Amino acid sequence: MANLREISVSAALNLLSAFAFLVAFAILRLQPINDRVYFPKWYRRGIRNSPRRSGVCVTRFVNLDWRTYIKFLNWMPAAFRMPELELIDHAGLDSVVYIRIYLLGLKVIGPLAVLAFLVLVPVNWTGETLEGVKNLAYNDIDKLSISNVPDGSKRFWVHIVMSYVFALWTFYVLYVEYKEVAAMRLRYLASENRRPDQFTVLVRNVPPDPDETVSEHIEHFFRVNHPDSYLTHQVVYNANKLAKLVQKKKSLQNWYTYYFNKYERTSKRPITRTGFGGVVGTKVDAIDYYSSEIQKLSEAEALEREKVLSDPKAIVRAAFVSFKSRWAAAVCAQTQLSHNPTIWLTEWAPEPRDVYWRNLAIPYFDLTIRRLLMAIALFFLIFFFMIPIAFVQSLANIEGIEKVFPFLTPLIETKSVRSFIQGFLPGIVLKIFLILLPTILMMMSKVEGFSSCSSLDRRSAGKYHLFLLINVFLGSIITGTAFQQLKTFLHQPPTEIPKTVGESIPMKATFFITYIMVDGWAGIAAEILRLVPLVIFHLKNMFLVKTEQDREEAMDPGCLNFATYEPKIQLYFLLGLVYSTVTPVLLPFVIIFFAFSYVVFRHQVINVYAQRYESGGSFWPDVHRRLLIGLLISQLLLMGLLSTKSVEKSTIALLPLPILTVWFHVYCKGRFQSAFVRFSLQDAMTKDTLERATEPNLNLRAYLKDAYVHPVFKGRIHFESPLLVPDEENNTLVLTRRSS
Amino acid sequence: MANLREISVSAALNLLSAFAFLVAFAILRLQPINDRVYFPKWYRRGIRNSPRRSGVCVTRFVNLDWRTYIKFLNWMPAAFRMPELELIDHAGLDSVVYIRIYLLGLKVIGPLAVLAFLVLVPVNWTGETLEGVKNLAYNDIDKLSISNVPDGSKRFWVHIVMSYVFALWTFYVLYVEYKEVAAMRLRYLASENRRPDQFTVLVRNVPPDPDETVSEHIEHFFRVNHPDSYLTHQVVYNANKLAKLVQKKKSLQNWYTYYFNKYERTSKRPITRTGFGGVVGTKVDAIDYYSSEIQKLSEAEALEREKVLSDPKAIVRAAFVSFKSRWAAAVCAQTQLSHNPTIWLTEWAPEPRDVYWRNLAIPYFDLTIRRLLMAIALFFLIFFFMIPIAFVQSLANIEGIEKVFPFLTPLIETKSVRSFIQGFLPGIVLKIFLILLPTILMMMSKVEGFSSCSSLDRRSAGKYHLFLLINVFLGSIITGTAFQQLKTFLHQPPTEIPKTVGESIPMKATFFITYIMVDGWAGIAAEILRLVPLVIFHLKNMFLVKTEQDREEAMDPGCLNFATYEPKIQLYFLLGLVYSTVTPVLLPFVIIFFAFSYVVFRHQVINVYAQRYESGGSFWPDVHRRLLIGLLISQLLLMGLLSTKSVEKSTIALLPLPILTVWFHVYCKGRFQSAFVRFSLQDAMTKDTLERATEPNLNLRAYLKDAYVHPVFKGRIHFESPLLVPDEENNTLVLTRRSS
């Protein structure tokens, strides 16, 4: 176990490396050549122009103005400068609420740390148990922790009282924050401009009708049951195949551009192979090959497009139904249409960008089966993920590789390669799995059949949170795989579990401090550097970009990855809450993480990330619930820990805490959650009345006409634009494209 | 442990005593004097006239026609004669759905029993483990049970397969039944006549407004937010005090009538005392005393009535808001009005009889606190109820009584009294608690703040179910108090609990068989005899009844006590499901219980019970859920039992069962539950359209005017009617009453 000095050294090193990242960031971001990587948001909004346009040769790529380097940290105050209201306008409510989670971390853990250092640390320090113990490695951190208080000491009552104080403070902050976020959301919804989703309801599971088409059936049904308010509807086409074709064509066009550029530079017709990835198969002229392939695809696409639009079977049993007023849409979204709750299902339409089109046509029974299967799959993923990884790791050893690829044997037998394989490969296999994990979880959520990207993100976050909780938090405390833990827990009395875990909590403090520094601090520093997008941008810029529009495309700002980031924040919350009464020394590390993250993400939200959708902060109830789960875990573990310290009645004294926590959750849920899932009739009516007064002649039908059209029908011009460069105006490809 | 012969003898005895009850019932119900006890429903409906009107002296009281006695069981076929549709019309959907639970019992357990006897009993019988065991008391029943199969035998796979078959059959029956009940409910709602609750929504937590009264505020709010459909509203008065006064006056009037009758019979002015219960205090003339008391109360009541109607503070922040159409009411009940979900809460108005008036004015925060406190109280009630009972039992021994009432010592020291106290008193204390328990649970539900009697019944049933599950089912299997069990379970691994319980399951079969006979069979037989109402009716008839109207009042038909009966049925379901794979011999006893109950309750529902309210079978989701809980418990216990029999992989083979059960619950909930909690817009629209076509000139406002007036304002004539006898026409009391 590391002592205080070792931790300090490690902290210093980590701080230094984070600092190095920051310096790198400061230098890189000042180079005009990187401008689009670090400020894509402003380009997107059309406010910022490339600094490369002006200036002479070198300064177009490298910043030579030494004065700007001196103030290399001035992005930090800049990140704070934008007031919250402007930020909502600039980046959307989702992003603003997201960065408030970090601020919430400071608000919760900050005062906890102050109190813990003022009260608990002195109590622990003067406990002097560890002083008397010989033959046992103890260190300064342990002397500041609860381990230093002798068994059965009356001092533990201080910890018990403080755990109440901490819980009450957390409740207070969480309550105020939930209230504030709910108010922000309501203000946002009330102030936002007219949007199609305000008038629209997603209707799923339209029952089949032998005499009418889906579209007619929907229209008749709503004309009968919402006679005064039904306006129009937009059927949903099953354009999955078409979307795939469009996607494939886009990729082929990229290759085509790549080879065309190459040809222009070298004046030599490039050669490719027709097989997988251009590696196997017969050799062909690349430009001819791709242009003919694109032409074939364009024809197939035109055919498919025709088929989708004319074939009644391509219309799925779902539709976006629009109403004359927000009030009527709110009514329809919240009420049940048919007495059979598996047909005519209504819900708020997600905003057009947020619709996940592939999942709109799943019948009710399928949905319940899919969710059951995914729940079972998640269970196995969490508890047995080590089995396939161990299998791959066993293959990825020297003998395994030699068996499969005998021709590699001489290379592998080299000493350096051998040691690399033995040392790193197993770790890399695990790391690759962990990197892929959010994608796997997202795929599982997609199978579950949610109909909007925001709900997919929220579901994936829930799954990832569970994974981190069991495999990272519990897995680090009790060494062994999750499956072994599960086995232990199943064969232990329920009261023993908090004891077993609680007992090892103080011993793992140094491990988690290191974890916070390596994973947390370094992760945030890497986040701001955007190394991967930087490299990809420059590669694309070098090989693909021909026009200004290509450059826009190459500049991928990315978006806040809620499904991955939020569960990680929850882990730090959990560590802060668990260790607040046990080893307060850990708290400053968490605080630094939150503060640093807050600055970095505020900067990123302002300058980098583009939103894929805007859900109005609808993820907050999840954040709140998971935070309370963390609080509950911390309380149970404290109960377990104290019951091993032979403190009489500690269990009884702490028992009201978890009950209070659960009650607080129920209360907050009832008090605030509906602001995130329902839309009040009063607010809808207010907005309607206002609009009727200001715009009496609004043609809503025209406004909503194309709002919910599948993007493949809408985005044709957008997808094909990269080729609209002057020197290709006359080739056959353009002609076929035009005719499609 | 009893063997098969002993069980047979016991069963014969119990059948005999049940038969005796039936004979007693058959004789008693044929006496004209008891007619009002056994057929009150028909009197209530005005269809049946007292047979005592006709006939000569003796035959007015006793049935001397010997032919009717021969067919003394002919009430049984008569109970079946009424078809279900007519029964719904006659007794309401609640009663019909309730007796379907017994039928469901037959449908589930019947085929299970047949299969178990065909397959499992032979397998168990030829197991021959117990043959070989010496020194161990075993009996014939055990030879038919799973205990007779040797450890590790392959025969257990038959049990595993059968448990799947049983579960699938239960799923099938439950699914069909849920579908049928939901369809019945929808048909009922669709076909029922115009009722005030179809147009009305209960609005609670109306926010205070400084400038307007509650009534004005409600009207303005709904005129703005439901402009096209708001019709009228009825504010709720806080008439709790007034209701108490009315209640008290009614009781005084009863006493007055009693003494007046006595005076008329004996021509001697009766004397009473003013103190508690007429036992202590100064002696006064009873008639004068009560008439003056009634006069005083009448004045107080008039004053209070005046005050309630004029004082704006007597209006609570709740109202019944009525709409112009069912569609609009359905919309308002299902949507959220304000963005603050703690104000303007809307829900379906319960039908007027079903409203629980005292709970309409509880603020949101209070509600959450009350529910928290009641949840904690329920926990303590379930796990620690033995403590106060043991305390009372310790007081209720010889020494305790002698200490408190020294003057009783000589009496107590008599041998017979002494042995009575020692032998029976502790048991009686427990019995009294168990009799009071449903009342206690109902009080707890009332504190929780539900606003309709039907929801109070459902909540109480849930609490009672929990109590029976833990204290009767688990408590009988693992002897010891619930608290001791809790302690054991907390200190046992979770996998051990099903093992511990499952292991003792086969040994308790004979106990539960006896329990079913004594509690179930005898309870049902007692139910049909209606001994308590019979005695009370005759006492009232003797002392209080003067007019025909008095007799109507004395004839208390009672009602189906859902909160007590339903959890008991669930216990028999649980026993049937648990023992279906373990000791199939128990099943016929459960089947007899269900069959007998079905006949008896069908008879009672037709002839006796009056409904307090009609909820349209809205308790079915609870019945379904609790049945599945029983199924889940039976599966877990079978897993526990088999894992002690050293059957390899039995746990894994059975694991999908509980998962399937939970999924089935989720599926059914999504598929059917909404039919019980929401009202579809389509159905509402259909009904509205029909009504508009058939009754275009309906004055809905007049129809709804007094629908939701507090019963004390409505029921004045009813409460005071007992005194409207000719010979009192001119006394002062009547005058005051008239002026009140």
Confidence grade of residue A131 (pLDDT, cut at 50, 70, 90): low
- Cα distance between residue B621 and residue A120, in whole Å: 51
Q: Which of A202-211, A385-394, B303-312 has the lowest mean pLDDT?
A: A385-394
The domain boundary, picked from A662, A678, A694, lies at A678
Indicate the number of domains in chain A: 3
Taking only the tens place, the pLDDT of each residue in B293-339 is 888 888 888 888 888 777 777 788 888 998 888 888 888 888 888 88
Which of B456, B726, B727, B733 shows the shortest CA–CA distance to B615? B456
**pLDDT tens, A535-549?**
888 887 777 666 666
- A28 & A105 share domain: yes
Which tens digit of pLDDT belongs to each residue from A38-73? 777 777 777 666 555 555 555 556 666 666 666 666
- Judgement on whether residues A91 and A221 belong to the same structural domain of the protein: no
Query: In terms of domains, do A690 and A657 share one?
Result: no
Structural domain includes residue B465: no
Domain boundary among A387, A415, A448: A448
d(CA A104, CA A176) in angstroms, rounded, equals 10
Query: Looking at the domain assignment, is residue A356 inside a domain?
Result: no
Helix, coil or strand: residue B15: helix
Q: Which residues, numbered 320 to 349 in chain B, qualify as contacts with chain A under a Cβ-Cβ cut-off of 8 Å? A: 330-331, 334-339, 341-342, 344
Q: Which helix (H) or strand (E) holds B367?
A: helix B364-384
Note whether B372 contacts A: Cβ–Cβ < 8 A: yes
B486 in a structural domain: yes
Radius of gyration of chain A (CA): 30
Q: What is the pLDDT of residues A6-50, one digit of tens each?
A: 777 878 888 888 888 888 887 777 777 777 777 777 777 776 665
Of A558, A658, A654, the C-alpha closest to A612 is: A558
Residue B3 burial by Cβ neighbours in a 10 Å radius (0-12, 13-18, 19+) = middle
Min distance A615 CA to chain B CA atoms (Å): 17
Is A223 an interface residue toward B (CB < 8 Å)? no
Give the per-residue pLDDT at A396: 65
pLDDT 10s digits, B38-64? 777 777 777 666 555 555 555 556 666
CB contact under 8 A, A336 and B334: yes
A723 is a domain residue: yes
Per the CB < 8 A criterion, the answer to whether B675 and A342 are in contact is no
Rounded CA Rg of chain B: 30
Would you place residue A400 in the very low, low, confident or very high pLDDT band (cuts 50, 70, 90)? Answer: low
Q: How far apart are alpha carbons A654 and A661 in whole angstroms?
A: 12
Domain hosting residue B376, numbered range: 365-448
Average pLDDT estimate for A609-629: 89
Residue A376 with chain B: CB contacts under 8 Å: 659
Residue B317 backbone dihedrals phi, psi, to 5 degrees: -80, 55
In chain A, whose CA is at the least distance from the CA of B673? Answer: A341
Query: Rounded to a whole number, what is the distance in Å from the CA of B644 to chain A's nearest CA?
Result: 14
**Residue B174 pLDDT:** 94
**Average pLDDT for A160-164:** 91
**Same structural domain, A265 and A373:** no
Q: Domain for residue A523, yes or no?
A: yes
Q: Where are the beta strands (DSSP E) in B168-247?
A: 200-204, 230-237
The answer to whether residues B326 and B282 touch, using CB atoms and an 8 Å cutoff, is no
Q: If pLDDT is split at 50, 70 and 90, which confidence band does A719 have?
A: very low
In a domain, B66, yes or no: yes
Q: Does A652 touch chain B (CB under 8 A)?
A: no
Structure tokens, B280: 């202590």
**For A78-118, how does the pLDDT look when each residue is reduced to its tens digit (9 = 90+)?**
778 888 888 888 888 889 999 999 999 999 999 999 999 99
Query: Do B217 and B307 lie in a common domain?
Result: yes
Is the Cα dihedral A193, A199, A205, A209 positive or negative? negative
How many angstroms away from the CA of A227 is the closest CA of chain B?
10
B201 with B183, same domain: the answer is: no
The secondary structure of B561-604 as a DSSP string is: -HHHHHHHHHHHHHHHHHHHHH-GGGHHHHHHHHHHHHHHHHHH
Quick check: is B93 in a domain?
A: yes
What pTM value is reported for the model?
A: 0.82
DSSP assignments along A153-221, one per residue:
-TTHHHHHHHHHHHHHHHHHHHHHHHHHHHHHHHHHHHHSPP-GGGSEEEEE-PPP-SSS-HHHHHHHH
Element (H, E) at B714: helix B711-714
Q: Which amino acid is at B132?
A: G
Quick check: A632 pLDDT over 80? yes
Taking the alpha carbons at both ends of chain A, their separation in whole angstroms is 69
Of A344, A674, A681, the CB nearest to B341: A674
Please state, rounded to an integer, the average pLDDT across all residues of chain A. 80
pLDDT, tens only, B557-575 = 778 888 888 999 999 999 9
> Sign of the C-alpha dihedral, residues B661, B665, B666, B667?
positive
Distance (Å, rounded) from C-alpha B657 to C-alpha B662?
Answer: 9
- Which chain B residue is nearest to residue A665, measuring alpha carbons? B368
Rounded Cα gap, residues B271 and B266, in angstroms: 13
Question: Considering only CB atoms, which chain B residues are within 8 Å of A186?
Answer: 339
Confidence at residue A434, expressed as pLDDT on a 0 to 100 scale: 85
CA torsion through residues B517, B520, B524, B530, sign:
positive
Phi and psi torsions of A284, nearest 5°: -140, 165
The answer to whether A372 faces chain B, any CB pair under 8 Å, is: yes
CA distance B651 to chain A (A): 13
CA torsion sign for A454, A460, A466, A470 is negative
Query: Which of B136, B137, B155 is closest to B146 using CA atoms?
Result: B155
Sequence-ordered list of residues with C-beta below 8 angstroms from that of A570, at least 6 positions apart, any chain: A465, A468, A623, A626, A627, A630
Q: Which residues of A touch B685 (CB under 8 A)?
A: 224-225
Residue A135: helix, strand or coil by DSSP? Answer: coil
User: Cα torsion at B465, B467, B469, B474 (round to 10°)?
Assistant: -170
When scoring A218, A331, A373, A486 by the number of chain B Cβ atoms within 10 A, the one with the most, hence best to mutate, is A331
CB contacts, 8 Å: B335 with chain A:
330-331, 334-335, 678, 680-681
The burial of B56, by beta-carbon neighbours within 10 Å (0-12 exposed, 13-18 middle, 19 or more buried), is given as: exposed
**Within this chain, do residues A188 and A200 fall inside the same structural domain, yes or no?**
no
Q: What is the pLDDT of residue B178?
A: 93
Task: Tell me which chain A residues have a C-beta less than 8 angstroms from the C-beta of B339.
Answer: 186, 675, 680, 682-683
Q: Which residues of chain B have pLDDT under 70?
A: 1-4, 47-73, 128-140, 275-281, 395-401, 422-423, 479-483, 485, 544-550, 648, 715-740
Q: Same domain, yes or no, for B529 and B568?
A: yes
Chain B residue numbers with beta carbons less than 8 Å from the beta carbon of A364 are 670-671
CB contacts of A228 in chain B (<8 Å) are 228
Q: Which of A336, A373, A485, A636 to probe the B interface (max B CBs under 10 A)?
A: A336
> Which pLDDT belongs to residue A721?
35
> Are residues A92 and A107 located together in one domain of the fold?
yes
Do A189 and A57 lie in a common domain?
yes
Residue A455, C-beta contacts closer than 8 angstroms, at least 6 positions apart: A350
Query: Do B188 and B202 lie in a common domain?
Result: no
Per the domain annotation, does A457 fall within a domain?
A: no
Q: Same structural domain for residues A544 and A656?
A: yes
- Asked if residue A271 has pLDDT above 90, the reply is no
Nearest Cα to Cα of residue A260 among A293, A284, A288: A288
**Calpha distance B72→B78 (Å, rounded):** 12
Half-sphere exposure of B463 (CA within 13 A, CB side): 29
